[in-house]
Homo-oligomer: A and B are copies of this chain.
Amino acid sequence: MIAIDGQRLLGRIRELGAVGRDSEGRLIRLAASDTDRQGRDLFVGWLRQAALDVAIDRVGNIFGIWQSPENTGQAPLLIGSHIDTVIDAGIYDGCYGVLAGLEVIETLKASGFSPSRPVAVAAFTNEEGVRYTPDMMGSLVHAGGVSAETVLAAVGTDGSVLGQELARIGYAGDREPGFLKPHAYLELHIEQGPVLEREGLPIGAVENLQGISWQRVTIDGVANHAGTTPMSMRNDAGHAAARVITFLLDRTKASNAPTVATVGTIRFEPNAINVIPSRAVFTIDLRDPDERRLQAAEAALAAYLELAATENVTISVEQLARFEPVIFDLGIVERIEAAARTRGLGVRRMTSGAGHDAQMLARIAPAAMIFVPSADGISHNPREHTDDAELVAGANILLDVAAQLAK
């Protein structure tokens, strides 16, 4: 049984993780920034060292393609993820999957494996969505979900324009987005959640990905003096907000369904200790792997908001994002499970709670994901950690499944 070169993979993860550190040591490689260029340059250098064909499309997606005259007409197996990061990131999110994809190709090449179709590794532009909206941008364009022109005109939080920034850093490529039509898509990723660690399992076979509903709720009441306004004469936007949040989170927690609900941001106006809030604004993050259940949660929230709006406040809701759940390819999921068992590794089917490039690629090809454990479930944080042995084990499962799909 062939195996990837663990030291090479781990060394590259660390080398890439050292690129883009600010003066406080924080890892920041926002999409199409100067530090993103440094990370891209390092990755492309490794692609060329591995003698892969490098292709860059107009939205900056990078592909390293291993093909031969015999198989170049076939739809390739694509392995991908992203190398952009959030602010003050860990070193594994995205990068692990991209570098493991490269590692798998190099291992297969070195082993004398002769694939019936090309095998390619992709680093998709702006998965994180921190600088430009929406997230998973490069893979969304690749899957045809939005035009290249639209995203190239995206204006960043810093006022920059993505198309100009890609040109500036030398990654506005000439390939038409979507040029590479995959036979299948694989993505290896850290779990970014606590499930595998809690259950002591090294491998997750990701069978689906939660649907996401992001909403911003704005409640308007009337500011008044906290001491002189009787409770019965108040239009307290903060009180209404607390009730809505309590309702939603209590309901979700009590349901015992896989639905998750989070209120991560809130602000009151005028935000003074002795003034009744005239306005409360908060966000709701609702997720569920089942579209009907997600819709039921949205409907329950909407019904409660209508009820709350009768109590002397007005409520408006803005939908910030909405993605339907994604069902991954059962055949690939079963191959992941079988590969784990063959290597004696514990495995379970699971749901991805976070969004990934795989959900976009699933629109155009059979796709699935492999998860490895995240210590304490932490991600988007310098404390993001997965043990070396687990990183190597996950890459070997990727190797096994890729070899099957490219045979």
- Interface residues, chain A, with chain B CB atoms under 8 Å away: 191-195, 198, 210, 212, 214, 223-233, 236, 238-239, 241-243, 245-246, 249-250, 252-253, 258-268, 271-277, 283, 285, 287, 320, 352-355, 377-381
Q: Is A377 in contact with B225, judged by CB distance below 8 angstroms?
A: yes
Q: How far is the CB of A201 from chain B (nearest CB, A)?
A: 15
Knowing that A192-B227, A232-B253 touch, tell me 16 more A-B residue pairs with CB under 8 angstroms: A193-B228, A212-B227, A225-B379, A226-B285, A226-B287, A228-B352, A229-B260, A231-B260, A231-B261, A238-B263, A264-B273, A264-B275, A264-B277, A265-B271, A267-B267, A275-B380
Q: Is A224 in contact with B377, judged by CB distance below 8 angstroms?
A: yes
Cα-based distance from A261 to B191 in the complex (angstroms): 43
CB-CB under 8 A from A198, the residues of chain B are 233
Cα-based distance from A355 to B226 in the complex (angstroms): 11
Q: How far is the CB of A247 from chain B (nearest CB, A)?
A: 9
Q: How far is the CB of A2 from chain B (nearest CB, A)?
A: 32
Cα-based distance from A228 to B190 in the complex (angstroms): 11
Known: A225-B380, A229-B377. A262 touches B245 (CB 8 A): no
CB-CB under 8 A from A276, the residues of chain B are 262, 264
A267 touches which one: B261, B266, B320 (CB < 8 A)? B266
Cα-based distance from A381 to B236 in the complex (angstroms): 18
Q: Is B354 in contact with A227, judged by CB distance below 8 angstroms?
A: yes
Q: How far is the CB of A181 from chain B (nearest CB, A)?
A: 29
CB-CB under 8 A from A265, the residues of chain B are 268, 271-273
Cα-based distance from A262 to B246 in the complex (angstroms): 17
CB-CB under 8 A from A212, the residues of chain B are 227
CB-CB under 8 A from A229, the residues of chain B are 193-194, 260, 353, 377
Cα-based distance from A242 to B265 in the complex (angstroms): 12
Q: How far is the CB of A403 from chain B (nearest CB, A)?
A: 29
